[in-house]
Amino acid sequence: MNLVLMGPPGAGKGTQGEILSKRLGIDTISTGVMLRNAIKEQTEVGKLAEGYINEGKLVPDDVIVAIVKDRLAKPDCEKGFILDGFPRTTAQAEALTASGVKIDKVLSLEVDDDVIVERLSSRRECSKCGAPYSVLFNKPAVEGKCDKCGGELIRRADDNPETIKNRLNVYHEQTEPIKDYYAKAGLLVTASGADKVEDTTKNVLAALGIE
Ligand code: AMP
């Protein structure tokens, strides 16, 4: 299965991507994770991306398209993949189509803006392995520590109120129109991501027709 996960920031793409990845035995490719790693390592791409990410803006299409094309050409993608956070503009969706990579389904996680603001404000992630947590909805066993690897839990630099607002605007203006693009191609399915993780997973599996 070659799958695209869509939805506003904080819709649960990372969490559901991880669950689907285990279930289907294919990797999740998250452009956000790739860019944050590039920033940590201060690569050329990382240095370029940092300003955009911290302001809640999108990294230029040509930069991100090149990174994703490179990643999708790796042999492990032959058995399938889950794209999390790409494409995010119509130009990126068109570039993906033009690259000849076949997409089987595009799943859009639907969550209202007020829920997103609450979620992103309480979100934390492991600084070592990137596992997602929330100080309200998904607390670790030991405060501030990752259950999986013991890494320190941090708040993402772009999860602050001003940037959250920008990211939601960017989503509605630049990313949401892609839903039409994929609906016309007959690939779009939707699932509510408004409730608990387990409920969203049920909705996701049903939307994808996975037993
Ligand atoms: P995410 O972890 O998916 O929320 O992405 C975090 C940030 O990385 C976004 O707010 C963008 O600044 C940048 N980013 C991630 N994916 C893309 C993309 N496909 N196109 C442009 N910028 C992206």
Residue range 21-43: average pLDDT?
Answer: 95
**Model confidence pLDDT, tens digit, residues 80-125:** 999 999 999 999 999 999 999 999 999 999 999 999 999 999 999 9
Closest by CA to 17, choosing from 32, 2, 27, 9, is 27
- For residue 132, whether the previous peptide bond is cis, meaning omega lies within 30 degrees of 0, is no
User: Bridge partners of 49?
Assistant: none
Q: Do residues 39 and 53 make contact, with C-beta atoms less than 8 angstroms apart?
A: yes
Distance 59 CA to ligand 1 centre (A): 7
Concerning whether 13 is annotated as a catalytic residue, the answer is yes
Q: Is the CB of 64 under 6 A from ligand 1?
A: yes
User: Bridge partners of 105?
Assistant: 3
Nearest CA to ligand 1 atom 5: 32
pLDDT surpassing 80 at residue 185: yes
- Give the confidence band of 130 by pLDDT, cuts at 50, 70, 90: confident
Closest by CA to 29, choosing from 101, 91, 94, is 101
Residue range 138-149: average pLDDT?
Answer: 96
pTM for this prediction: 0.91
Q: What pLDDT is recorded for position 98?
A: 96
